[in-house]
């Protein structure tokens, strides 16, 4: 009985990190067409953080942390969520959801290069092949005329690249930082503090704040899905899988998320999928496979959405 229920949990958790995380691009795109991006992201993460604290208290989990841990969660929250996710939401105003997901799928490549530059780690031969594939895939993706000629698309692409650098550096930072031992509490602090920083960013950019009561029904639903499923459920599933199966299997979400995002963007938003995008996706994801084959950090996935 226990074994079959465990198998069911694993399948449901994979569904969460494959489909739910892949759908967050579509959900953010729908919301950002109506709401200011930093306000949107601030609402999502602040509410998710508060809900995590409430759930933790109900479950009897201690949420007190040290000053050092608080500072480190603020830094991680900024790198992963305030900048890393908030700016991607902003960029979705200018680039298609599938395109953004494909560009972000090159994240393992960025982490590998940062480990080489900042930590002097040697790049394994298999990973070198992956980097070459990755660079070719990115070039094929971003060199398409119909993408480059869209207003604001180049700026959107460049900002997503900076987000990837932020996630990459954040991944290396959390690997060594003193953080709360309970991952649920750790996430709660990162989401809450990241959301507060996003609120200051929103005010700094002069965004117009509105009450959720005046949002369209569609955007209200999207926000509920982003908070409950995209932030809390998918993240919990990710951590459950890290303990239940190998990190390489968990990292397969890197390949599935862009495909889910491409299909959903095409189906719901009529986004165009070009032959060159498909070829770029195959080349890029082949590169990511070669990099992940050497057990490159899977931890970055945790904070992507």
Domain boundaries, the chain: 2-303
What DSSP string describes 41-84?
HHHHHHHHHHHHHHHHHHTT------HHHHHHHHHHHIIIIIIT
Cα distance between residue 193 and residue 155, in whole Å: 27
Range scoring the smallest mean pLDDT among 190-194, 271-275, 291-295: 291-295
pLDDT at 298: 47
Is residue 238 within 8 Å of 300, Cβ to Cβ? no
Instruction: Name the pLDDT band for 290 (thresholds 50, 70, 90).
Output: confident
Q: What is the overall mean pLDDT for the chain? A: 89
Is residue 184 within 8 Å of 56, Cβ to Cβ? yes
Residues 6+ apart with CB under 8 A from 283: 133, 136, 137, 140
3-state secondary structure of 207: coil
Query: What is the mean predicted confidence (pLDDT) over 257-274?
Result: 93
Query: What is the mean predicted confidence (pLDDT) over 101-126?
Result: 88
pTM of the model: 0.88
Query: What is the mean predicted confidence (pLDDT) over 95-112?
Result: 90
DSSP designation for 105: T
Checking if the pLDDT of 147 tops 80, the result is: no
Checking if the pLDDT of 304 tops 60, the result is: no
Query: What is the mean predicted confidence (pLDDT) over 143-162?
Result: 89
pLDDT, greater one: 233 or 292: 233
Backbone angles phi, psi at 295, to 5 degrees: 55, 40
């Amino acid at each position: 009985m226990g074994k079959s229920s465990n198998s069911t949990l694993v399948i449901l958790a994979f569904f969460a990190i494959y489909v739910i995380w892949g759908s967050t691009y579509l959900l953010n795109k729908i919301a950002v067409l109506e709401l200011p991006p930093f306000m949107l992201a601030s609402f999502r993460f602040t509410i998710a953080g508060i809900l995590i604290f409430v759930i933790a208290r109900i479950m009897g989990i201690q949420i007190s942390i040290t000053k050092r841990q608080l500072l480190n969660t603020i830094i991680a929250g900024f790198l992963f969520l305030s900048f890393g996710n908030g700016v991607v939401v902003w960029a979705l105003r200018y680039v298609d959801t599938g395109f953004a997901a494909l560009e972000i799928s090159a994240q393992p490549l960025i982490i590998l290069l940062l480990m080489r530059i900042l930590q002097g780690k040697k790049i394994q031969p298999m990973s070198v092949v992956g980097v070459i594939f990755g660079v070719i895939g990115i070039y094929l993706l971003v060199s398409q005329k119909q993408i480059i000629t869209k207003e604001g698309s180049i700026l959107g692409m460049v900002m997503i690249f900076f987000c990837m650098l932020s996630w990459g550096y954040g991944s290396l930072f959390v690997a060594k930082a003193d953080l709360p031992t309970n991952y649920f509490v750790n996430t709660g602090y990162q989401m809450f503090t990241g959301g507060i920083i996003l609120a200051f960013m929103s005010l700094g950019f002069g965004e117009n704040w509105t009450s959720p009561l005046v949002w369209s029904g569609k955007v209200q639903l999207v926000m509920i899905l982003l908070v409950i499923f995209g932030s809390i459920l998918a993240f919990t599933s990710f951590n459950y899988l890290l303990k239940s199966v190998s990190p390489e299997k968990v990292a397969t979400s890197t390949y599935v998320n862009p495909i889910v995002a491409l299909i959903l963007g095409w189906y719901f938003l009529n986004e165009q999928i070009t032959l060159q995008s498909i070829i770029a996706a195959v080349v890029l994801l082949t590169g990511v496979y070669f990099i992940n084959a050497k057990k490159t950090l899977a931890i970055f996935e945790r904070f992507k959405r």
